[in-house]
Structure 1
Amino acid sequence: MIGVFDSGHGGLTVLHALTQRMPAASFTYFGDHGNAPYGPRPEGEIYTLTLAAVERLFAEGCSLVLIACNTASAVALRRLQQDWLPDAAPERRVLGVFVPMVEALSAVSWRDGAPGPKRVPEDGMVAVFATQRTIHSGAYPFEVGLRAPRMRVVSQACPNLVAAIEADEPEDVLHDLVTGYVAAMLKQTEGRVPEAAVLGCTHYPLVAHLFAAVLPSSVQLLDQPTIVADSLADYLTRHPRFAVESGQTGARRFLTSGDPARVAAFASRFFGSEVTFQAVGELNLL
């Protein structure tokens, strides 16, 4: 099994793309709905919860875990990979949705510095729309800056958007929120239009059509789930051991730290079809 972790529902948009890209692969999804949302939490709590979730998926038999949460990836991934994994689980791997997006923006491979396809000019501008915690982490401008120092990253927090999506607010309410975030971003750029935009939260694909409608037509809207799915498929090609260990039965399991009935009622909006969740108990912050 390949483990896929998110603080709630959002990672199901990534899981959907993964199953479309690799239909034979087997996946276990774990949503920490009992502690969601992660965005307003302090970084220390986000790291502790993310570590506990990875350990939970390892215990479920996953040798490879994808953190399908931008906030958790931005805050916790590097620390997990560098400080915890080498001693705690050296034969296992933890990946995140953050790295593929940085590679896509900078056109520089994380693993070896090899060039990739250019989506944004070297001296271009990209807008990142994300949760407040992801924006405050500074992860996107920092990591893109290491690989494409001439590129400008404009960071725009989108407070209340995740909550509005989760609450299934009417389209006009969501449209007004997105319009405000885009206007705030363009105010930062003093009217300059970025070449590309990243929806840096796995909830946001559900309102991608609104961003596309409000942003200037010349802005390329990068689809994070598709980019992540392509990246993971490439990783499994380069590391076939994890593909073999994950199994090729097309099995899907859905776990939650919340109320499985309540979680399942909303999950189909994110995954694209009905799913059944199994309760596994809350993660402990202590």
Structure 2
Amino acid sequence: MIGVFDSGHGGLTVLRALHRSLPSHDFLYLGDHADAPYGDRPPEEIYRLTLAGVSRLFERGAGLVILACNTASAVALRRLQQTWLETAWPGRRVLGVLVPMVEAVTGVPWMADVAASRQAGEPRTVGIFATSRTVDSGAYPREIAARAPEVRVVQQACPALVPLIEADAPRQRVAEAVRLYADGLMTRLASAPPQAVMLGCTHYPLVADLFTDALPVGVEVLSQPDLTAKSLSAYLERHPEFDRPGQGDVSFLTTGDPSRITALATRFFGKPARFDRT
């Protein structure tokens, strides 16, 4: 079984792509709705909450967990992997949604020899829209620079966007917010538009078309759920010990109110998703 963890239900957009890509695998999703959102929480608190969520999924039988939350991936993933995982859960693995995006932008595999990969390529600019905490972590610029120093990364925090999406705000209000953030990015890029932008929050794919409309024609908008699904399939090919097909079952857990979350989840998952309390 593959676990998928998120601070809320934005990660359902990732789960949807994972299940579509690996329909014979069993998935267990956990949303920490009681503590959402993570975007403005202190780093130590994000780490503690992420560790607790991953532990719950391991306790339920997951052998591999995907952090379907950019904030958790940016702030907590490396520390979990380096200082906690092998001691607490030897033989288990935790992956994040940050890695596939970095690989897509740089063309350099995550586990490649970074020093050997530092070959000058064509200079280009990439924009990143994300939560305030993901932006403050500097994870995307840091990892991209280590692999492709010729790529200029410009970030734009979007603090109002997740609350608007989760509240199912009128589309016009969401579009106005997206336009505001797109204009903010373009102001800092006065010389030329980026070649691509990364939607660095799992909520944002639900309004990807609004980003496309708000940006100059020709700017590529990278799909995080699809890239994560492609990356996981490649990972399972390299690590067959985690490639354990089941019955294609998908289960949903929440730390919040199951009835309220179930009512909201369909929009993110694309079909009914009944949550139980963990």
The CA deviation at 1:88 is: 1.3
Cα distance per residue 1:28-82 (max 9 Å; x no partner): 0000000000001000000000000010000000010000000000000000001
Counterpart of 1:29 in structure 2 is: 29
TM-score by length of 1: 0.93
Cα distance per residue 1:168-205 (max 9 Å; x no partner): 11111011000000100011111410000000000000
Runs of 4+ in 1 over 3 A off after TM superposition: none
The CA deviation at 1:90 is: 1.9
Q: Residue 183 of structure 1: SS of its match in structure 2?
A: helix
Paired with 2:122 and 2:107, the residues of 1 have a C-alpha distance of 9
Counterpart of 2:221 in structure 1 is: 221
The CA deviation at 1:153 is: 0.3
Question: Do 1:46 and 1:76's aligned partners in 2 also have CA atoms closer than 8 Å?
Answer: yes
Q: Residue 28 of structure 1: SS of its match in structure 2?
A: strand
> In structure 2, what residue type is equivalent to 1:269?
R
Q: Residue 243 of structure 2: SS of its match in structure 1?
A: helix
> In structure 2, what residue type is equivalent to 1:40?
D
Counterpart of 1:268 in structure 2 is: 266
Paired with 1:71 and 1:82, the residues of 2 have a C-alpha distance of 18
Paired with 1:80 and 1:105, the residues of 2 have a C-alpha distance of 24
Counterpart of 1:150 in structure 2 is: 150
Cα distance per residue 1:194-249 (max 9 Å; x no partner): 000000000000110100111111101111100000000110111111112xx421
Q: Residue 66 of structure 1: SS of its match in structure 2?
A: strand
Question: Do 1:122 and 1:148's aligned partners in 2 also have CA atoms closer than 8 Å?
Answer: no
Q: Residue 129 of structure 2: SS of its match in structure 1?
A: strand
The CA deviation at 1:86 is: 1.9
Alignment of 1:256 with 2:244, yes or no, is no
Counterpart of 2:204 in structure 1 is: 204
Structure 2: give runs of 5+ residues left out of the alignment.
115-120
**Mapping of 1:1-286 within 5 angstroms?**
1-113=1-113, 122-244=122-244, 247-280=245-278
How many pairs align?
A: 272
Paired with 2:107 and 2:124, the residues of 1 have a C-alpha distance of 12
Over aligned residues, Cα RMSD in angstroms?
1.0
> In structure 1, what residue type is equivalent to 2:109?
S
The CA deviation at 1:113 is: 4.2
Counterpart of 1:117 in structure 2 is: none
Paired with 2:169 and 2:250, the residues of 1 have a C-alpha distance of 29
TM-score by length of 2: 0.96
The CA deviation at 1:14 is: 0.2
